[in-house]
Structure 1
Amino acid sequence: MIIDAHCHAGPGDGFSGPWSSRAPLGAYLRRAREAGIARTVLFAAFHSDYGMANRAVARIVQREPHRFIGFAFVHAERDRGRIASMVREAVEDYGFRGIKVHRHDARISREICEAARTFRVPVLYDVGGEVAQIELFAREFPSVPFIIPHLGSFADDFAAQSAIADVLARLPNVYTDTSGVRRFDLLVRALRRAGPAKVLFGSDGPWLHPGVELAKIRALRLPPWDEQLVLGGNLLRLIHDNSGDER
């Protein structure tokens, strides 16, 4: 089973770019079907009210619960004091399976990590190139899985994307996803250094083509079992989902 571990969905409420205005799934779903992608992790576009945005994503997930996996987007500063209640609502009422945080909003907080630990869900945190800080929160919360997308930087920060391989190898609860990575050899390096159990396939849809992003994984020419880990097995393990045979 192929699972895209990184896709936005629903309306934003800003117009700085597609990432904050709207994340429509029409073309994405057609492309994902053509690529053989069976399931997708969804979380909101950037929004000034993530409670509202998460409800919009929940409606999408609830229409096709066997197709979509929801993650709750939270803002470390603006949502301070209510993150646990937001995550509780998302997990218990919406059936969401993780938390999404972005450095563009604010740095991850202890409150977010504590909520992840309480509800036993992973955190997908875009560090925006701040790879050095990963060790601080990951060691403080060893039971929380942290997924660092884009090898640490969507901005193609070579230093950050080079450094992530050692972080993955050292810290058992830190993972990465492959979305938007341009330098193919850095994917190779991360896999060789940390192993296939630490890497998840993601597309950063709907703005990046899921079939193109998937082609990078195919081009790695991994052994079948290793490829299955990257393409879905690792994500299922992190969200405690036993549906389907990872092998």
Structure 2
Amino acid sequence: MGATLVAFCPVLLEYMRRASAAGITHSVLFANFHQDYAAANLSVARLVKRFPRRFFGFAYVHPVRDKGRIFRMVQTAVDAYGFVGIKAHRKDARISREVCEAARAYNLPVLYDIENELATVDWLAIHYPDVNFIIPHLGSFGESWRAQTALLERLESYPNIHADSAGVRFFDLLARLIERGGARKLLFGSDEPWLHPAVELAKIRLLKLPHAQEQLILAGNFLNLIGMERPGVVAC
């Protein structure tokens, strides 16, 4: 879930109301696109500190603009802010070795929007098999059925590649993902403020999975990726 960091975030407050109404107790919080991700991460850290029982923080980095300081940014995010993951977006720049190596050093999952660049998934899986990557929107927020279908094969083949469900309109692909890769390969995502968390949550409920599998998608898989187990958490 991204947050626009404006004067105590009215967008974030609206999300919190929506999430609470839907029964979502915990969320991943990171900055939206920003000119200075170090400053944006600090703003997110203040929100996480204010609501420590509600949010997990991810450090947003720009693979090109932040080149040479990514390790330092991640170190600050982990040691000073208590963040538990890294976020990068292809719209900024293609993910870099520096980002992946920082994730490896701190044993953090990376949420990376590939913007349909499936070859990048192969590169990540092959060169960084010890780093966990979460590919949001099943690989395509633009609803490319071909890209999302092709990602299913990679989810089945690569142990360190995972997907999130946010914005996936082709419901049958979510069902096929579970059939082919298992419930452990999918994480629930809301992509608020762009999407409504209750709508996204309903898609998971409609899969009508056994309770244990549903709980993996809603919380367990994420908590496992960050090295934490916390029963009863529904995160997005």
Q: Same fold per TM (> 0.5)?
A: yes
Alignment correspondent of 2:167? 180
| SS of residue in 2 equivalent to 1:54 | helix
Match of 2:5 in 1: 11
- 1:121 alignment counterpart: 108
Equivalent residues in 2 for 1:193-204, closer than 5 Å: 193-204=180-191
1:39 aligns with 2:22: no
Indicate how the Cα distance of structure 1 residues 23 and 138 shifts in structure 2: closer, same or farther if over 3 A, else same.
farther
Of the candidates 214, 221, 227, which is equivalent to residue 227 of structure 1? 214
Q: What residue identity is the alignment partner of 2:179?
A: R
**Which SS does the other structure have where 2:116 is aligned?**
coil
Task: Give the C-alpha shift of residue 137 in structure 1.
Answer: 1.6
TM-score normalised by length of structure 2:
0.95
Q: Give the gaps of 5 or more residues in structure 1.
A: 1-6, 13-21
Q: Give, in whole Å, the separation in 2 of the partners of 1:85 and 1:10.
A: 24
- Ranges of 4+ aligned residues in structure 1 off by more than 4 Å: none
Aligned to 1:190: 177
Q: Indicate yes or no: 2:68 matched with 1:104.
A: no
* 2:71 maps to amino acid: A
CA distance in 2, matches of 1:33, 1:174: 30
1:72-125 residue CA offsets vs partner (Å, 9 max, x unmatched):
000000000000000000010000000000000000000000000000100000
- Give the Cα separation in 2 of the matches to 1:137 and 1:197: 19
The aligned amino acid for 1:124 is L
How many Å apart are 1:130 and its aligned residue?
A: 0.8
Aligned equivalents of 2:75 and 2:10: distance in 1?
A: 24
- The residue that corresponds to 1:161 in the other structure is 148
Match of 1:131 in 2: 118
CA distance in 1, matches of 2:23, 2:33: 28
Find the residue that maps to 1:66 and give its secondary structure: coil
The correspondence for 1:141, drawn from 116, 123, 128, is: 128
- In the alignment, which residue of structure 2 is the partner of 1:27? 14
CA contact (8 A) 1:164 1:190 kept: no
The answer on 1:74 being equivalent to 2:61 is yes
CA distance in 1, matches of 2:203, 2:67: 38
Q: CA deviation at 1:245?
A: 6.2
Match of 1:16 in 2: none
Instruction: Provide the C-alpha distance between the structure 2 equivalents of 1:245 and 1:64, rounded to a whole number of angstroms.
Output: 18
1:46-61, aligned counterparts within 5 Å? 46-61=33-48
Deviation at residue 243 of structure 1 after TM alignment: 2.8
Q: CA–CA distance in 2 between the matches of 1:26 and 1:242?
A: 27
Query: Of residues 190, 199, 208 in structure 2, which corresponds to 1:212?
Result: 199
Q: 2:90 corresponds to which letter in structure 1? A: R
2:87 partner SS? strand
In the TM superposition, what is the alpha-carbon distance from 1:133 to its structure 2 partner?
A: 1.8
**TM-score, normalised relative to structure 1:** 0.91
SS of residue paired to 1:244: coil
Q: Pick the aligned partner of 1:63 from 44, 47, 50.
A: 50
* Cα distance in 2, alignment partners of residues 58 and 77 from structure 1: 23
Gaps of 5+ in 2: none
Amino acid at match of 1:87: V
Match of 1:3 in 2: none
